[in-house]
A and B are shown apart, each in its own frame.
Chain A
Amino acid sequence: MGTKVYLIALNTFHESVRSKVMYSLLFFALAMLVASLLFGSVTIGDRIVVLKDFGLFSISLFSALYAVISGTALLHKELSRRTIYNILAKSVRRWEFVFGKYLGMLLTTAVMVACMCAALLAFVYLLNGEFSAGIVRASLHIVIELMVVCAFAIFFSSIVVTPLLAGMLTFAVFLAARSTEYLMYFVNQDGVSAPLSAVLKSLYALLPHLDRVNISDLVVYDAAVSWSLTFYSFAHAAAYSGVLLILSTWIFSKRDFN
């Protein structure tokens, strides 16, 4: 059972690393890092802070973009090219397929984050001569964030027919989940109607709190980050992803592959 999940995950990983999308986004992310060096040189203040800030933002943005693009496209490709037929015709359960796809996507995005993290570490080391463990820690939290983004990509792919719409929905949720604190800020403003307040509160309760998971701001300013925050972030992302994957499996199990 585990072997099948592992194999599907590995196949998804191989398919992803042999695609051009990943390298295009990696190229843009590295270009952003190089650009941040230039920004740093013309910015008043700490050049390293600018580099770390820009670098971690690039890692988060491009890895999330990759998860959205490849996550929604991979599942759609399986269906449109009918490669899924041969997989499910074997004694593979549908949940094994969904979880295998998810883990493969997560592994790919984690490798992408690791590459960009290594590049940022190298830049910081070249400029400052220090190894910034905070960058590694922030990258780990970005991977934790991606657990949720990948799960949303799978979830929307299982309910929406077109990959574009699934991708847009996933990215919208990612942006909203990174801004959940603003929802409560608006709720507390004067003049907000009761129905709108109820909607915002519901969204706050429903959405994952990725703004709490992301610790890039803390790392940029060398603030202390407790390991309990990492643990709770992981638990939050794992629980949220778990629910999304169970829902995706349920929807997937009801689906006919005509």
Chain B
Amino acid sequence: MSNASSSALSLENLSYAYRSNWVLKRIHALTEVSLEIREGEAFGFLGHNGAGKTTAMKCILNLIRPAGGKISIFGRDSREPEARKVVGYLPEQPYFYDHLNVFELMELYAVLAGIRRAEAGPAIARALDLVKVSARKRSPMRSLSKGLTQRVAMAQAIVAQPKLLLLDEPFSGLDPIGRRDLRELLVELNRNGTTIFMSSHVLSDVEHICGRVSIMVQGKIKALLDIKELANRPTQHFEMLVRNYDRAAARLKALASSHDAGENVLILKFEQRARAEEALRLALAEGASVEAFHPADHGLEEIFVQVVQAGR
């Protein structure tokens, strides 16, 4: 990730509300959302289903008009079409014109993104190469699988080499190989200076790609986290698996926050590092067989669950 610090995308008190169909009740999809995405940063925009992630992206792209607040893309008001010239967008569940083939579709989006028609060919070839669908460039869009369509969607987003990539669930529909390819591509693009703003439910990939994440709950930003700090944070939650534990059973169970006994196996869970370490020492001293002792928190996933549950 580059160290540049100027703002690539700025959301200031962004709000969006709509009226439900029948009772015309005003529903607040976004409430005073403020975020600052630095140039060259990879940012994970997380939230539960219906949290407002896609709505926020649509506001950024001027597809819907916010009720309040301000959005700037590299310092320009996002409502100006010129501001979106530097943006590549991958929508959630991308739909494309099925009467076109892959190359025709890419040509359409390349020229609309500002590439001259004469220069579109090499740009398209490069983008299709990056997502590994060059061999299918003459295939009709309607003949592509979901995974290939997703790759083409990624190709159209990067064809004009945008400075800012907005990705709404980019891993949706991809098989494990496709997921790995896309993850590597995003890391590479970010390394080369592209700012990435992505929403995803695949938290392990978000952790791998992004430097920071926000967690949105019911239209409000509830947490802003630095992935590096998260990784360096001392773990509190541990899990231990022991056999031949009879002599220490009662004391081990007393130290653990929860336990579960299987066939000749005791699984102990600890919420405090000190108690976990004490239990480990005790088990070894009493001659129990310690089969496993490992951190039990899942980093981002655990925090995500906590934040979402607390925010609802």
Contacts and interface: CB of A to CB of B under 8 A. Distances in A.
B85 interface: yes
Contact of B97 (A3, A15, A90, A257): A15
Which of B63, B85, B114: most chain A CB closer than 10 A? B63
A15 B81 contact: no
Interface in B76-107: 81-85, 87, 89, 91, 93-97, 99-100, 104
Given A4-B112, A7-B108, A7-B112, A83 B96 contact: yes
Interface string B98-142: 011000100011011110010000000000000000000000000
Interface in B214-269: none
Interface string A4-36: 100100010011001100000000000000000
Interface in A213-258: 256-258
A91 interface: yes
Interface string A45-82: 00000000000000000000000000000000000011
A87 interface: yes
Contacts of B96: 83, 86
B64 interface: yes
Given A85-B91, A256-B65, A258-B18, A90 B99 contact: no
A92 interface: yes
Contact of B64 (A11, A90, A257): A257
Contacts, number: 71
Contacts of B100: 11, 14
B97 A83 contact: yes
Interface residues of A, number: 23
B72 interface: no
15 contacts: A3-B117, A4-B111, A14-B100, A18-B99, A82-B95, A86-B94, A89-B63, A89-B84, A90-B112, A91-B113, A93-B81, A256-B63, A256-B64, A258-B58, A258-B64
A130 B61 CA distance: 58
A28 to B, nearest CB: 22
A83 B63 CA distance: 12
A91 B86 CA distance: 9
Q: How large is the interface on B (under 10, 10 to 19, 20 to 34, 35 or more residues)?
A: 20 to 34
Contact of A91 (B85, B93, B95, B97): B85
B161 interface: no
A89 B63 CA distance: 7
Contacts of A86: 89, 91, 94, 96, 109, 156
A19 to B, nearest CB: 8
A93 B83 CA distance: 12
Interface of A: 3-4, 7, 11, 14-15, 18-19, 81-83, 85-93, 256-258
Contacts of B94: 86
A11 B97 contact: yes
Nearest to B61: A89
Contacts of A256: 18, 63-65
B113 A7 contact: no
Contacts of B104: 14
B97 A89 contact: no
Contacts of A3: 111, 117
B62 interface: yes
Residue in B91, B96, B97 whose Cβ sees the most chain A Cβ within 10 Å: B97
Contact of B63 (A7, A19, A257): A257
A90 B62 contact: no
Contacts of A83: 95-97
B61 A91 contact: no
Interface in B55-77: 58, 61-65
